[in-house]
C-alpha cells in the first residue's frame, strides 16, 4: 500500500469520527469561554504625548515644533526609567496591588515582571509617544497614565537642573580663581608706577577692583590706568597690561556663561505636549470571550484530531502484529 492510499484511508477514518471531533471542539470552546469568567478583567487606558525639540523655553517658544524621532526615543527612555517605575510603584501602591510578598528574595523581579506586563510605552508612526496601562480598574488605569505624563516633566526638569547647577557651581569656582588672577595683575601694574603717583593710583585700584566685584563686568577706569602708565612705559609693563586684558577677557566670558546658566535655571521649563490624556473606559479589554473561545475550540479540534490519528495508527499496528 503506497503513501497516498494510506493517507486516503486515514482521512476516511477521521471523517467517520467527525461528530466526535466537532463535539470535542465545541466542548473545549465552551470550557475556554467559561474559564474566561474566572479571569480578572483588565481595563486599558491610553495617553499620547509629543516631546519638545529643546529644553529651553526660549527655543520652544521661538520654534514650537514637535520633537523628532530621537526626541521621542529619549522621552520613552525617561518613561521606562527606574525613577518613573519607583514613582508609580509608590504612588499607586503596586506592591499591594500585585500582592507582592517582599519577604521573598525574588520580589523585585516579580514586581518588575508584572509592571512591564501591564505598562508599555511606544513610538507610533507620527513620532508621538503612547503610554498604555492595563489594570483591574478603569479609573486606576487612567490615573496611572496621566500621572506618568505629568511626572515625566519633573524627571526632565530635575535632570536638567542637576546638570545646570553643577555648571553654575563650576563657573563660580572658576570666576573666583580668575578674579584673583586679574586682581593680582592689576596690582602688579599699579606697583610699576613711580612712587610719586602710587598713592593716587592705589586709591583708584581699590575703587576699580571693588566695582568689578560688585558689577561683575569690565569696569570703567582701565583707561585711567593706561594713561597713568604712559610716563612709565616699558616692555615689562606692556606685557603686564596685555596679560591683564587677556585674563580680564577670560573673566568676562566666564561671567557671561554664569549669567546664561542662571537664566536657564530661573526660566520656566518647557513641558511635553499633551495630545491625549487618558479617560476611564468601562469596556474591558481582557480577557476576550470570543478570542478565548476560538483558541479553546482550535485546541479542542487539534487535540481530538491527534487523538483519533493516534488511535487509528495504534489499531493498524495491532493488526500488523496479529497478522504476523
- Percent residues over pLDDT 90 in the chain: 35
Q: How many other C-beta atoms can be found within 10 angstroms of the C-beta atom of residue 229? A: 21
Contact 92, 144 (CB under 8 A): yes
Q: What are the residue boundaries of the structural domains of the chain, listed by start?
A: 18-41+287-299, 168-266
Distances (CA, A) of 159 to 65, 148, 153, 170: 22, 16, 10, 17
User: How many Å apart are CA 21 and CA 304, to the nearest integer?
Assistant: 6
Exposed/middle/buried for residue 201 (C-beta within 10 Å: 0-12, 13-18, 19+): buried
**SS3 label, residue 221:** coil
Q: How confident is the model at residue 208 (pLDDT cuts 50, 70, 90)?
A: low
* pTM for this predicted structure: 0.66
H-run or E-run covering 113: helix 107-118
Distances (CA, A) of 121 to 113, 125, 132: 15, 14, 6
User: Which bin fits 127, alpha (ψ -120 to 50), beta or left (φ > 0)?
Assistant: left
Residues in the chain: 324
Which single residue is written with the C-alpha cell 518588575?
Answer: 112
Categorize the per-residue pLDDT at 220 as very low, low, confident or very high, splitting at 50, 70 and 90. Answer: very low
Burial of 224 (0-12, 13-18, 19+ CB in 10 A): middle
Q: Give the 3-state secondary structure of residue 261.
A: helix
% of the chain surpassing 70 pLDDT: 78
User: Which cell is 113 given?
Assistant: 515582571
pLDDT in tens, 165-190: 999 999 999 999 998 888 888 777 77
Instruction: Give CA–CA dist 116/85, Å, rounded.
Output: 9
Distance, in Å, from the CA atom of 49 to the CA atom of 214, rounded to the nearest integer, reads 46
How do beta strands 129-135 and 273-276 pair? unpaired
- Classify 221 in phi/psi space as left (phi over 0), alpha (psi -120 to 50) or beta: left
Residues 6+ apart with CB under 8 A from 174: 254
Angle 94-124-136 from CA coordinates, rounded to 5°: 25
Give residue-wise pLDDT tens across range 227-265: 545 555 566 767 777 788 788 889 889 999 999 889 888
Average pLDDT over residues 206-214: 57
pLDDT of residue 199: 46
Split at pLDDT 50, 70, 90, the class of 286 is low
Amino acid at each position: 500500500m503506497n503513501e497516498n492510499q494510506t493517507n486516503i484511508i486515514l482521512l476516511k477514518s477521521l471523517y467517520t469520527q467527525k461528530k466526535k471531533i466537532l463535539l470535542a471542539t465545541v466542548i473545549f470552546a465552551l470550557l475556554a469561554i467559561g474559564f474566561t469568567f474566572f479571569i480578572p478583567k483588565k481595563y486599558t487606558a491610553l495617553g499620547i504625548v509629543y516631546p519638545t525639540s529643546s529644553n529651553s523655553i526660549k527655543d520652544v517658544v521661538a520654534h514650537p515644533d514637535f520633537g523628532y524621532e530621537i526626541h521621542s526615543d529619549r522621552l520613552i527612555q525617561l518613561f521606562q526609567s527606574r525613577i518613573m517605575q519607583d514613582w508609580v510603584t509608590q504612588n499607586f501602591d503596586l506592591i499591594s496591588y500585585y500582592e507582592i510578598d517582599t519577604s521573598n528574595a525574588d520580589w523585585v523581579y516579580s514586581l518588575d515582571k508584572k509592571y512591564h506586563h501591564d505598562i508599555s510605552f511606544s513610538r507610533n508612526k507620527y513620532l508621538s509617544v503612547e503610554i498604555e496601562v492595563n489594570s483591574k480598574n478603569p479609573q486606576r488605569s487612567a490615573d496611572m497614565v496621566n500621572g506618568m505624563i505629568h511626572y515625566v516633566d519633573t524627571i526632565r526638569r530635575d535632570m536638567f537642573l542637576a546638570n545646570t547647577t553643577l555648571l553654575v557651581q563650576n563657573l563660580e569656582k572658576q570666576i573666583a580663581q580668575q578674579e584673583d588672577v586679574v586682581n593680582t595683575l592689576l596690582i602688579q601694574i599699579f606697583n610699576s608706577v613711580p612712587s610719586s603717583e602710587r598713592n593716587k593710583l592705589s586709591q583708584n585700584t581699590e575703587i576699580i577692583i571693588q566695582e568689578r566685584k560688585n558689577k561683575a563686568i569690565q569696569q570703567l577706569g582701565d583707561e585711567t590706568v593706561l594713561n597713568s602708565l604712559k610716563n612709565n612705559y616699558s616692555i615689562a609693563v606692556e606685557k603686564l597690561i596685555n596679560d591683564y586684558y587677556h585674563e580680564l577677557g577670560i573673566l568676562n566670558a566666564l561671567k557671561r556663561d554664569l549669567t546664561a546658566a542662571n537664566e536657564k535655571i530661573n526660566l520656566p521649563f518647557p513641558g511635553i505636549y499633551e495630545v491625549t490624556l487618558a479617560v476611564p473606559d468601562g469596556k474591558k479589554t481582557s480577557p476576550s470571550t470570543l478570542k478565548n473561545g476560538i483558541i479553546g475550540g482550535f485546541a479542542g479540534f487539534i487535540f481530538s484530531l491527534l487523538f483519533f490519528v493516534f488511535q487509528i495508527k495504534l489499531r493498524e499496528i495491532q493488526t500488523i502484529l496479529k497478522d504476523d
